[in-house]
Structure 1
Amino acid sequence: MTESFLRRAGPLRGVLGLVALLIVLRYRHSKASKHVKDLSTIGRRLDDERYDFDEFDIIVIGGGTAGCVLASRLSEDPRVRVLLLESGGSAQGVPESRTPAGFTSILRSKYGYDLYTEPQAFLKDGRKLFWPRGRFLGGCSSINAQMAQYGCPSDFDQWAEFMHDDTWSWNKFRRYFNKFEKYSADPDYPQVDPTHRGSEGPVRIGYFNTIAQSSKDFVKACVNVGIPYTPDFNGPNGTLGASRNRERVSSESAYLTPEVLARPNLKVAINSHATRILFDSEKRAVGVEYANFENGPRYRSRARKEVIISAGAVHSPHILMLSGVGPAEHLKEHNIPVIHDLAGVGANLVDHPVIDISYKDTTNNSANYLVPRTLADRLKLFKALLHYKFLRSGGPLATNFAEATAFIRSDDPTLFPPSQYPQVLEDSTSGVGAPDVELLCTSIGYKPHAQSLFDVPTRALHACLLKPMSRGEVLLKSANPFDLPSVNPNYMKDLNDLQRLLRGLRLCFRIAQTEPLASHLDHTLEHAELDHRLHLKSDEELTEILKSRIETLYHPTSSCRMAPQEQYGVVDARLRVYGLKALRICDASIFPWIVSGHTAGACFAAAEKLADEIKAGL
């Protein structure tokens, strides 16, 4: 399936179609590339005495989920000259990214940052968790699981009320979700109302055309334990219920098409690492300094109108602090001249923690064969390649594995009767109809971050905490812009988080033992690495297991929070950085609170919203 996947799986002799697929994909991309690679064509070296800057109207730092949207939309006006700086390369030449089932094989690769959290004080043995972030165009939208659940409408109403700005309310903000969507109706799901979906946007949204039977039966089992079925999590009724997931493309493939890249007023510079933002004496952002690599020459480009940071919840606060914007005392510790003291930079970091439980598959239909061990596995893989590449009928390679999910509340009396769950937990949701736990079913069980598979065919369930109360921070490790920052999400610092995730885990056990899903799983196997007997553990034992196994669902947000400055806010409702001029931030770092869904959709929509606002003011 992928080059790095092959290295781990061993030689796949006889699966020549796989090699052909890689060659075709790489060849196509090499012919189409129109990205800037020579930075001297867009900027001036610091030691160049002719003049300091090459000028653009707007410079976008970070070609991730939001950055590609902004670069594309802002350059629609041929009078506006736009520069997009991306630290990595293009994902279009990376089959691991383009193939839906390949995303797990690039989490530990040159296409991501090798980022780890600080030791987690509230997890077992102070664990340090791997935190992969995408390092190529599209950012995390090029490496994620392609799941389009945007959050509950009340999430965005909460944002609007908090900021006293109704443009963030669901009734007004939803049009920007519709703007990026191109919904493909599925005749198997006539219940979905297409009038609530976008139809003209660049991002294709629709049901996967390959759904494992276990995923279908997971949804039925959810209904049988009392979770209502919903065909569309993003409809007006919100996200409570169970459904199959939808798919989407990356922001690069959707927004930076060959036609867009051919615009003379847009430059997309790859392998261009932003080292700092440049300010004038009035604290106005006037340009960006960047380089190809740590010891390479530094270049500068001028921004006549605005600089927009879209580097994500880890790297946006990092760039701000490197530029002298952040908590003054922390900047002084690293001998960085303070441009503006802004305490909220890097604060309020929050993420979705998840725990996985894996079972032996009894149906001989697990996707484990994608890492083949036998001749039969290789034949299955070859058949899957034929379906995906040549027959164009989807097949297993067109799945994200997490094909079905359920969204629930941990205080739902139907699912958690007070007689069995007497503890009253603090509500962290945005409203009575908003969920705080997500349950997922995957057609393959894997060890954390898909680093390896188990020695038997497996399936897995996952419990994810959607609205954590624990908060962490992003800090500098040094003043070197090529050193990764310190990341501390403080998982499980708040005991409510632990109790709500424990309830989600208990519900996973019930669903696994409920037909028709129960027939897919071996409930009697004794296996040291699998979880067939885990439901027999006490709450105290499960709490310790949670602390030893919690991982990230790759959704960090809120480290440059949209909030009043006195509440550790970094940007206002128009995403302008407090105390500075001509500088905005647009990515998941600005979320006032993390959404009760997956974060990419809100990033797309926020970028569409900001692009419209900027264009209206030009």
Structure 2
Amino acid sequence: MPPTSRPSKATLAAASVALLLVLRHFYRRKGTYAALFGDPAKLARRVKSGEDEYDFDEYDVVIVGGGTAGCVLASRISEDPKIRVLLLEAGPSSIANPFAIVPASYSKLMHTQHDWDLQTTSQPNANSQARYWPRAKLLGGCTCMNAMIFHIGAPEDYDEWVLLQKGQEGASQWAFKEVDKYIRKFEKFTPSPEYPLVDASLRGRSGPVHTGYGYASYGTKKFIEACANAGIPAISDLNTYKGTMGVSKVMTFITPKGRRCTTQYAYLTAKVLARPNLKVVTDAHVTRILFETSGPTPRAVGVEFTQKKGEKFRVKARKEVVLAAGAVHSPHIMMLSGVGPADHLKEHGIPVAADLPGVGSHLMDHLVIDLNIQDKSKTGIGHLKGDTFLDGLKLMRELFTYNMTGRGPLTTNVAETIAFVRATDPKLFPPEQYPTSQIEDTTSGPGAPDVELFFTPTGYLEHGQAKMRPGYYFAVHGVLLRPTSTGTIRLKSRDPQEPPEIDPKYLSTSNDVAILVRAARLLTRILHTEPLASMVDPAGAEDAALDHTFHDLDDAAVAEAIRRKAETLYHPACTARMAPKEDGGVVDPFLRVHGIPNLRVVDASVFPTIVSGHTAAPVLAVAEKAAELIVDAIRADRAAAH
């Protein structure tokens, strides 16, 4: 690999001064929120050594995890003033964190105290290397640390969810026509004169979550044109009942003023947090769910959590405990609490509250391969990294523009445009060259994709954490949307402070590799299609760290490169699946854990199978629906009691 460079002290100083502009602007508002996250001792009870029966405070609903789903649940459930709600989040507030505010800066949160900083096990079929998994440890969760892509998946994905429930009561409520109501409920779309063909009547108008458009680089527009010239139709909106096939500028979670719209920002406003029936505790690491097991079935009665000093606290849930800790931590907490595969729990000396083999199983994730290209047009956003003194000066200019106007390159989500295709599309993959018998159709329906392509106006290595040689780059990326490889989340020990063992079993099926080979072939074809072809600098072919000669590789070499290059797209899901127990399911269609009716799971872990696209919007829709289910159940209990 060619030598890389480190930014000079002068560069770092320039970047630091520039950052202060943002810090001064945003930290002014910190006081509005800081007082609303109280001392846990005022909201819960300390656990005294040897006193397991020590009294603890009561809430109707205790929500574990203040991430993408948890903030939605806390806000919506507490709309009923008679329901007392407690939200527990392991990280701090993100409301004044500049890296969770400025859209382009999210990678700055990686490998910090605001990141769980997880690693998978070594992956035998992916170059025998472990993979880094960024997961935000902040109120707002991964909406603080993702590419902000608003994408709902394919409509057929949700209809497939119904089929996977095999006739269980409530299954039909997950059909697309039903879920779409909740997508519109959370969305507040801001039209843009640059994209006049978007039908605003098909977008949500009054929800708390802003969607719209950020910065579009020169290369983004060229990528869309090249895709269209290569046979992928350009469409105005990837998020309607008409389907998701085609190429389009990405719609993002962004406010009209250019701020990243996290779920904390959208749902936990000062007005919401002022509700007397809602309490939020940050820096609260939940270590286990407390169960009453004397009856015919276990009942969740509360949770235990610790804070930074190691003190233990307990709170009681009169009605429900809701896990919203994500596809890694929800199953982790369940297993620590005695809910999971009985043999595995016994290995770690954990008493079994409920034998549920599906907990932590069927882990699915989207893999991506990145092809970095030297940019002849020199129009990208690489200067935002501040790697050179000149780039540092440019960054200061961009920060000033953003600070004053909420516009400019800092409103980019980096992955600026996306395309969705099928690996069996005969127009893109002629059968005489790509026989359909070589791959399995894993899509959810004839109108759903199994491959995603996207463009970034910058190159990057290792999620942007490794330095590239100074220069101008762009990149194109291919995503495996419907993997057939599934993995597990398992305990390393019974110590709740030790992260779980994450084994996604990447590329363990030949079908996954074959589809990514097709994605790579299509990417290189688009790279050689105008007008994108004119952006490719021939000089980049001399740099072994770049991918200018990728098209020259035979299929075996491409497959080998895929195993080396493949990284997570940050979409772990399906580890507490909504499916019948006998099929490895963990929750029913009402998101209640099988055998524990007052314990629910609400996050990406409940997906019966992974969606054909990005996961943030589906999680928001699931959380909106779940909040209604929980409120309806509590009101029904209240009515029955009277």
Pair in the same fold by TM > 0.5:
yes
Taking structure 1 as the reference length, the TM-score comes to 0.96
**Paired position in structure 1 for 2:300:** 285
Alignment match, 1:409: 422
How far has the Cα of 1:247 moved from its partner?
1.4
- Answer whether contact 1:351 1:557 (CA < 8 A) is retained: yes
Contact 2:148-2:252 at 8 Å conserved across structures: yes
Distance change >3 Å, CA 493–CA 7, structure 1 → 2:
farther
Q: CA deviation at 1:192?
A: 1.7
Q: Among all aligned residue pairs of Structure 1 and Structure 2, give the percentage whose two residues are the same amino acid.
A: 46
| Aligned residue among 580, 601, 612 for 1:596 | 612
What are the residue-to-residue correspondences of 1:78-117 with 2, within 5 Å? Answer: 78-117=81-120
Q: Secondary structure at the match of 1:215?
A: helix
CA distance in 1 between counterparts of 2:242 and 2:512 reads: 26
Distance 1:479 1:604, change over 3 A: same
Distance in 2 (alpha carbons) for counterparts of 1:116 and 1:531: 26
Cα pair distance change 1:10/1:330, threshold 3 Å = farther
Matched, 1:269 2:281: yes
Pairing of 1:15-26 with structure 2 (within 5 A): 16-26=17-27
**1:418 and 2:419 matched:** no
Amino acid at match of 1:33: A
Output the amino acid matched with 2:595: G
2:517 equivalent to 1:502: yes
Q: Which residue of 2 aligns with 1:521?
A: 536
Q: Does 1:28 align with 2:29?
A: yes
Q: Residue type of the partner of 1:236?
A: Y
Secondary structure, in 3 states, of the residue corresponding to 1:461?
Answer: strand
1:552 deviation in Å? 0.2
Q: State whether structure 2 residue 558 is matched by structure 1 residue 542.
A: yes
Give the superposition deviation at 1:37. Answer: 4.4
Paired residue type of 1:464: V
- The structural deviation recorded for 1:51 is 4.6
Q: How does 1:229-248 map to 2 (within 5 A)?
A: 229-248=234-253
Partner residue, 1:353: 367
Shift of 1:52: 1.6
Contact 1:97 1:143 in 2 (8 A): yes
Which structure 2 residue ranges, 5 or more long, are not aligned? 1-5, 254-260, 636-642
Asked if the contact 2:7/2:388 (under 8 Å) is kept, the reply is no
Write the mapping of 1:189-588 to structure 2, written as runs, cut at 5 A.
189-208=195-214, 210-248=215-253, 249-280=261-292, 281-282=294-295, 283-293=298-308, 296-392=310-406, 394-424=407-437, 425-455=439-469, 456-525=471-540, 526-588=542-604
Q: TM-score under structure 2 normalisation?
A: 0.93
1:520-559 C-alpha deviation (Å, 9 max, x unpaired): 1213421021111111111111111111110000000000
Distance (Å, rounded) in 1 between the aligned partners of 2:291 and 2:8: 46
The aligned counterpart of 2:155 is 153
What is the distance in 2 between the residues matched to 1:376 and 1:486? 43
| 1:162 CA displacement | 2.1
SS at match of 2:69: helix
Structure 1 position 109, deviation (Å): 1.2
Residue number in structure 1 paired with 2:258: none
Q: Distance in 2 between matches of 1:502 and 1:395?
A: 36
Distance (Å, rounded) in 1 between the aligned partners of 2:500 and 2:16: 42
Residue 592 of structure 2 aligns to a residue in which SS? coil
Aligned equivalents of 1:478, 1:608: Cα separation in 2: 34
* 1:6-49 Cα distance to aligned partner (Å, 9 max, x none): 99995233873431321332232145313434211111122187
Which residue of structure 1 aligns with residue 164 of structure 2? 162
**Paired letter, 2:482:** K
Deviations 1:209-242 (A, max 9, x none): x200100110000000000111100012111000
Q: Give 3-state SS (helix, strand or coil) of 2:489's partner.
A: strand
Aligned-residue offset at 1:93:
2.2
* Contact preservation (8 Å) 2:573, 2:604: yes
Deviations 1:273-304 (A, max 9, x none): 001001112311010001103x6121110001
Inter-partner Cα distance in structure 2 for 1:376 and 1:284? 61
Q: Distance in 2 between matches of 1:245 and 1:378?
A: 27
Q: Is the 8 A contact 1:123 1:548 kept in 2?
A: yes
User: Per-residue displacement from partner, 1:113-151 (whole Å, max 9, x unpaired)?
Assistant: 121001112111x11000111111111111000001110
Residue aligned with 1:337, SS: coil
Name the CA shift for 1:96/1:64 in 2 (closer, same or farther; >3 Å): same
Alpha-carbon distance in 2 for matches of 1:65, 1:378 = 33
Gaps of 5+ in 1: none
Whichever residue aligns with residue 602 of structure 1, its letter is P
| Matched residue type, 1:372 | G
2:544 & 2:10 partners in 1: Cα distance?
Answer: 23
Are the equivalent residues in 2 in contact too, given 1:30–1:93 (CA < 8 A)?
no
Matched-pair contact (CA < 8 Å) for 1:245–1:403: yes
